[in-house]
């Protein structure tokens, strides 16, 4: 389970001087399948719950970019069932599925982005792991869906100041149910919109000219999410 609320931002530290790995989420944009651009900051490490419940907790902040400050503070509650499939609770092993669980919960409209404090429970458990295949299970994206996410990722990352965007991010690959090699293959097929060199891409004018459409898709996805929460509040 994840508990989410809005409030002050929590910062993810990069690798410390002692060499402790603190994760790679900072300064990255993670686009949901619906087209919402998220920045996700995680405050490592996981801690055993002090409430007496059998789970581990990791705090973080999910921000909806270009939304005027909408975000959700989260308390990620890792169940013991899912803990058993993780080699460790260090960022190298746990960061990708945590980020992708947050993306999936956003697509399921379980996270609500607000400016005022609020806490709400959303699920993060064995639903995101396929025990038959011994693999994480978030999406099974088609090539068209992969291409859409890559376009949006390069667009948003470029708009927010990054000139080169990694298109083979293993976190994206895990989220989409694809390999990094396949992401690169799809990216190379977008040659009219992005220029790919190695594992990074830069936006071409044709993509940036699609900004109005991409941002309209983002607004539509946000409106759909807000409509769901408005209905639940009555």
Instruction: Give me the residues of the chain with pLDDT under 70, please.
Output: 1-26, 52-53, 116-124, 231-234
**Per-residue pLDDT tens digits for 82-130:** 999 999 999 999 999 999 999 999 999 988 898 766 655 555 678 889 9
- Write down the pLDDT at residue 208: 97
d(CA 186, CA 196): 11
- Write down the pLDDT at residue 91: 95
Model pTM score: 0.84
φ and ψ of 223, to 5 deg: -65, -40
Virtual torsion, Cα 95, 98, 103, 107, nearest 10 deg? 160
d(CA 94, CA 76): 11
- Write down the pLDDT at residue 112: 87
- Write down the pLDDT at residue 118: 63
Would you say 81 and 125 are in contact if contact means Cβ atoms under 8 Å apart? yes
- Write down the pLDDT at residue 4: 47
- Write down the pLDDT at residue 16: 37
Residue 34 CB neighbour total at 10 angstroms: 18
């Amino acid at each position: 389970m994840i508990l989410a609320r809005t409030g002050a931002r929590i910062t993810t530290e990069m690798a410390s001087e002692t060499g402790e790995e603190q994760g790679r989420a900072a300064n990255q944009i993670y686009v949901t399948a619906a087209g919402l651009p998220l920045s996700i900051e995680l405050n490592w490490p996981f801690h055993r719950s002090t409430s007496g419940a059998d789970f581990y907790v990791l705090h973080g902040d999910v921000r909806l970019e270009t939304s005027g400050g909408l975000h959700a503070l989260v308390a990620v509650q890792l169940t013991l069932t899912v803990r058993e499939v993780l080699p460790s609770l260090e960022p190298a092993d746990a960061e990708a599925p945590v980020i992708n669980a947050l993306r999936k919960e956003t697509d399921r409209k379980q996270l609500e982005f607000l400016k005022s404090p609020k806490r709400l429970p959303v699920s993060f458990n064995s639903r995101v792991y396929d025990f038959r295949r011994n693999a994480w299970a978030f999406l099974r994206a088609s090539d068209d869906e992969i291409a859409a996410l890559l376009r949006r990722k390069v667009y948003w990352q470029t708009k927010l100041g990054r000139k080169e965007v990694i298109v083979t991010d293993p976190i994206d690959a895990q989220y989409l149910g694809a390999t990094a090699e396949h992401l690169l293959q799809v990216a190379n097929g977008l040659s009219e919109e992005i220029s790919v060199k190695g594992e990074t891409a830069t936006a071409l004018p044709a993509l940036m000219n699609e900004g109005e459409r991409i941002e309209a898709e983002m607004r539509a996805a946000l409106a759909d999410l807000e409509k769901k929460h408005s209905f639940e509040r009555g």
